[in-house]
Amino acid sequence: MWNPTEFRNMNFPAPVAVLGFLAAVAGIVLSALAAVTFLFVRKAQWAQRVATLVAAGAVVYFVLLLGMSLASREVTLTPGQEKYFCEIDCHLAYSIIASRAELAGSQRELRVLVRTRFDENTISSQRPKNAPLTPNPRHVLVVDGQGRNFEALMTAGTPLTRALIPGESYETEFVFRIPADAANLRLLVTNPGWEEHLVIGDENSFGHEKTYLAVPVAGLDITVGDLRG
């Protein structure tokens, strides 16, 4: 499942990262219960040992978390290149297939058409070939060369949360309002969950670099292609 040549939202195998996060949460909960129990039966020394063990485990976990963040590199993909998201036993790929910008008063209205594709070549051997996948929620925004972020004003087409079967794809249009001086535009598709900040190798984890999709602009027209419809 793990292919180091793919551009993705993680630089660490997602199944291992998720299992590590779940194990860390479970370990903290169980250790807390154990420590309370030891205190209740007046065995403070054992409670202290449990606390020490949890602290040591937390240090190891955060060293790995920060280490993968330090090892990450910012990547900007060219139009047509895909950014992969691991859904544990399969992958979804996102790419820009068309875009356009038009004057809207003193600003520009930017329209970006994004394709979501269920890569059938990334399915685990245990997953049925025709089993649908409902994507995790995604957060989509545009970032310019000054580091300014712009949220989508509206979306059209197929929602990003619609289920797919292997090999299927669909398209979603995002509409942004950006300043006239905004340049070097890039689209960021990422996961919005708070837990992503604590998953080893996730691009939302502390200090981790991001993988962007370039939105090339030539004057007011974006040269990737005309938006469908």
Q: 227: which 2 tokens?
A: 């938006």
Mean pLDDT of the region 88-110: 86
Q: What are phi and psi of 2, to 5 degrees?
A: -85, 120
Q: What are phi and psi of 131, to 5 degrees?
A: -75, 130
Contact 103, 158 (CB under 8 A): no
pLDDT digits (tens, 9 = 90+) for 181-219: 888 999 999 998 888 899 999 999 999 999 999 997 644
What is the sign, positive or negative, of the torsion defined by CA atoms of 145, 216, 190, 181?
positive
Question: Is residue 128 very low, low, confident or very high in pLDDT (cuts 50, 70, 90)?
Answer: confident
Integer Cα distance of 191 and 94 in angstroms: 13
Residues β-bridged to residue 109: 102, 177
Residue labelled with tokens 């949360």? 161
Cβ burial of 41 (10 Å; 0-12, 13-18, 19+) is: exposed
* pTM confidence score: 0.83
The pLDDT, as a whole number, for residue 3 is 58
Model confidence at 161: pLDDT above 90: yes
Cβ burial of 151 (10 Å; 0-12, 13-18, 19+) is: exposed
pLDDT digits (tens, 9 = 90+) for 3-28: 556 788 988 887 788 889 889 989 88
Mean pLDDT of the region 94-115: 90
Model confidence at 229: pLDDT above 70: no
Q: How many Å from the N-terminal Cα to the C-terminal Cα in the chain? A: 36
Residue labelled with tokens 């065995």? 43
Integer Cα distance of 223 and 49 in angstroms: 63
